[in-house]
């Protein structure tokens, strides 16, 4: 069987994967805190028909003769560059300007999840939660704002303050952010959550603005870092690559047909 046919098949599979990733990026163009994916290809091992030879006293050296056998997926990266900030003027809409992740959890402090989506809310008890009801983690656990508070504010360092019913400024808590040695090693769980893996390294928790952790912008949300113009360009390139590999398979099939017809 012609090697070109198998090379074309490997190309089809890889470009299909690339289109899958591009489609997911475009679908999440308006997802708060979403980080786009990127597919990286690499070649498969090559078949060597003749090795390299060194120069001799009478002849020069020769290069190896190798035939590539297609391509494969080298990596599917998550690009953690920051997205643009969209101003909302809502106190509980938070964005991280720089590195770091919000930490959300169950009320008992377990089942920690990490996210860049900063749309938070107050439940009926005054606890700060996200859209799925998970609690926003502070240095002392769950952060609570009394339901009788007149107003609240969140500083760049993540300090949460409120004005009580007597008009006195009170401190409700301090947000705790997490940073990883290798954010690209985190695994996506869905619902804007990331999980720690063996290659992400352990989370370093701290205060916003310290230890390389970004500052918090209250009244703004981080948008997806998907660039539609870039995605559509990549989609066209992937489509043409897919078409070119189908042409390789078609041409290889025609050659095989000619070989079969030689017996006539």
pLDDT (tens, 9 = 90+) of the chain, 264 residues, equals 578 888 889 999 999 999 999 999 999 999 999 999 999 999 887 788 888 889 988 889 988 888 888 899 999 999 999 999 999 999 999 999 999 999 999 988 889 999 999 999 999 999 999 999 999 999 988 999 998 899 999 999 999 999 988 889 999 999 999 999 999 999 999 999 999 999 999 999 999 988 889 999 999 999 999 999 999 999 999 999 999 999 988 988 888 888 888 876
- Is the CB of residue 140 less than 8 Å from the CB of residue 174? yes
- Is the CB of residue 93 less than 8 Å from the CB of residue 100? no
Residue 32 included in any domain: yes
Res 47: pLDDT: 81
How many domains would you assign to the chain?
2
**Based on the domain organization, do 210 and 256 belong to the same domain?**
no
**Based on the domain organization, do 27 and 71 belong to the same domain?**
yes
- Cα of first residue to Cα of last residue in the chain, in angstroms, is 20
Res 4: pLDDT: 85
Res 95: pLDDT: 95
Residue 160: domain span: 85-222
**Based on the domain organization, do 98 and 181 belong to the same domain?**
yes
**Based on the domain organization, do 247 and 209 belong to the same domain?**
no
Residue 259 included in any domain: yes
Res 83: pLDDT: 92
Residue 59 included in any domain: no
Distance CA 185, CA 203 (A): 12
**Based on the domain organization, do 177 and 212 belong to the same domain?**
yes
């Amino acid at each position: 069987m012609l090697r070109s046919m198998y090379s074309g098949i490997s190309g089809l599979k890889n470009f299909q994967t690339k289109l899958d990733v591009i489609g997911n990026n475009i679908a999440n163009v308006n997802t708060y805190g979403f980080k786009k994916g990127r597919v990286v290809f690499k070649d498969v091992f090559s078949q060597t028909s003749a090795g390299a030879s060194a120069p001799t006293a009478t002849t020069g050296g020769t290069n190896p003769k190798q035939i590539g056998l297609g391509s494969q997926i080298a990596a599917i990266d998550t690009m953690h560059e920051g997205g643009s900030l969209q101003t909302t003027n809502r106190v509980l809409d938070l964005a991280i300007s720089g590195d770091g992740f919000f930490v959300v959890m169950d009320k008992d402090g377990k089942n920690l999840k990490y996210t860049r989506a900063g749309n938070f809310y107050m439940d009926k008890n005054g606890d700060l939660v996200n859209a799925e009801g998970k609690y926003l983690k502070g240095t002392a656990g769950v952060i609570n704002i009394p339901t009788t508070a007149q107003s609240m504010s969140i500083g760049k360092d993540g300090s949460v303050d409120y004005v009580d019913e007597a008009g006195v400024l009170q401190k409700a808590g301090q947000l705790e952010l997490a940073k990883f040695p290798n954010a690209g090693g985190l695994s996506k769980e869905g619902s804007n959550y990331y999980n720690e893996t063996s290659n992400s390294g352990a989370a370093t928790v701290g205060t916003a603005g310290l230890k390389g952790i970004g500052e918090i912008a209250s009244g703004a949300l981080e948008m997806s870092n998907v660039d539609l113009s870039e995605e559509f360009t990549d989609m066209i390139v992937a489509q043409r690559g897919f078409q070119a590999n189908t042409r390789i398979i078609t041409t290889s099939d025609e050659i095989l047909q000619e070989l079969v017809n030689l017996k006539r």
